[in-house]
Structure 1
């Protein structure tokens, strides 16, 4: 009887392992191959991955899946295996499970009070329709115009709490303070560089207009002193703006290191209607220094120290500049 008991256990283990190793259906296998092809061709760090092993592991994760929807966990597994915080996958249909509450809106921080000799502009996150993006640009440039006076010693550009969205309206909105110049680059896995530029109310990517305003503003005093404020919630497109200020003359950053997703994403629509937002480039500043990680401020400070120290530096730098 004891021997039969042991044999029963062995049979159960064998049957369980066999079930776990059941290959995915042909449709699922084709879907996995589609995902791997996209990742292998476009992921920014593709050279660091053994794609044969990667595909084998993803197929193993999809074992037993008969429908593409059942393969979604394998895609999530693959995304995690990339080791990239910015890539995201959205299934065509929600996976069955507990009801997920609607996502909360990102917080919007209030403006900081500043002395009369300091200009201040907060650059919040932004996503939405073209109408909303146009209104965002108009609002930022109107605030800059309203706060610009000949007496200003410099500007505080506040990126704290900017969790991303669309970088191009941000660059147009803050363009009068940034100045007309090449601001940075996106660099892909082939080392191909595409330049960002602000010029006459337009944000350009290798010369192609990404966002613009017809009624752009020009500062009363060109090339001002600028203090850039960042924190751990400064992410993605917010980090792109932080990069755009890097290596700019008379500019210094204050606060805390950014979130660490200073990378660009591309959208890929999969055959079943699901969407892959894949990291395909890293941000580089105007000197071609690459990021792709948290951007450290020039002066790490506690939250209460950030604005006073930034104002102190602006006044000192203004004196030295003039």
Structure 2
């Protein structure tokens, strides 16, 4: 079956867009191993009233690891709330992976309801929803437990050219909210949901199905998400801190 991989990969790239691809069986195995090796939980740190939450990429790891990831972020945010007047969500370098632990971890800072939507070519919408205890489609996928919502505090979101795919889901979910601004460079533009289809020989066919639509109904289909404030990646945090301080967080 291996002889069909090259023409199939070419067809997938031509017809499926830049977010579609074919993984050879050996690549699938390496992909699974690297997801474990590269797993990193979020960090939550507070300095001068500003709490920074790093949101790293998370690959195809176990549900237990996904829960650990999400609960580390959510509990860290809730625990820091009393000492915090403004927030920085750092999505720089987040190349994507599994969106549910990322979004569930952000539950304290996102209002309940539709955060963003996947829209098919025929116009059918699938909303991604924030619940009291996490995020999911139709129901909570990864629960962090019922958390206290933190409202009316400014949030700065950092992005760069490596913020991609599920990282862009988180980025899109903050768009359109009051007191939210983004800083950095254009995101990668892998703004679409994929479905994975295992092949008989162990290869994996990954196809784009549904581009993203933000909470205001704007299509983000396969284009980079632009920041509100353009800065170099290395200056994004400093600029974000200045913006938070201008809003009384000092």
**Do Structure 1 and Structure 2 share a fold, with TM-score over 0.5?**
yes
Secondary structure of residue in 2 paired with 1:208: coil
Are 1:212 and 2:151 an aligned pair?
A: no
Match of 1:306 among 230, 236, 242: 236
Distance change >3 Å, CA 124–CA 110, structure 1 → 2: closer
Contact kept in structure 1, 2:114 and 2:128, CA below 8 Å: yes
Cα offsets for 1:258-308 (capped at 9, x unmatched): 111011001223455532110001111101111121111111102332112
Kindly report which structure 2 residues correspond to 1:279-294, keeping only aligned pairs within 5 A, or say none: 279-291=208-220, 292-294=222-224
Match of 1:87 among 10, 13, 20: 20
Cα offsets for 1:53-99 (capped at 9, x unmatched): xxxxxxxxxxxxxxx321111101212322622112134578xxxxx
Match of 2:117 among 185, 189, 199: 185
Are 1:296 and 2:229 an aligned pair?
A: no
Contact kept in structure 2, 1:69 and 1:93, CA below 8 Å: no
More helix by share: 1
Q: Which residue of 1 aligns with 2:11?
A: 78
Residue ranges of structure 1 left out of the alignment (5+ in a row): 1-67, 95-101
Work out the CA distance in 2 between the residues paired with 1:112 and 1:198: 21
Larger Rg: 1
Kindly report which structure 2 residues correspond to 1:27-176, keeping only aligned pairs within 5 A, or say none: 68-82=1-15, 84-92=17-25, 115-127=47-59, 128-149=61-82, 152-176=84-108
Distance change >3 Å, CA 234–CA 178, structure 1 → 2: same
**With CA pairs under 8 Å and 6+ residues apart, which has the higher RCO, 1 or 2?**
2
Secondary structure of residue in 2 paired with 1:209: coil
Distance change >3 Å, CA 110–CA 130, structure 1 → 2: closer
Residue-pair matches, total: 241
Work out the CA distance in 1 between the residues paired with 2:70 and 2:13: 35
More strand by share: 2
Kindly report which structure 2 residues correspond to 1:258-297, keeping only aligned pairs within 5 A, or say none: 258-291=187-220, 292-297=222-227
TM normalised by structure 1 equals: 0.68
CA RMSD of aligned residues (A): 2.5
TM normalised by structure 2 equals: 0.86
Work out the CA distance in 2 between the residues paired with 1:113 and 1:204: 26
Distance change >3 Å, CA 103–CA 134, structure 1 → 2: closer
Cα offsets for 1:155-203 (capped at 9, x unmatched): 1011011111110111110110123232100011111111111111121
Shift of 1:112: 9.1
Residue ranges of structure 2 left out of the alignment (5+ in a row): 28-32
Distance change >3 Å, CA 183–CA 311, structure 1 → 2: same
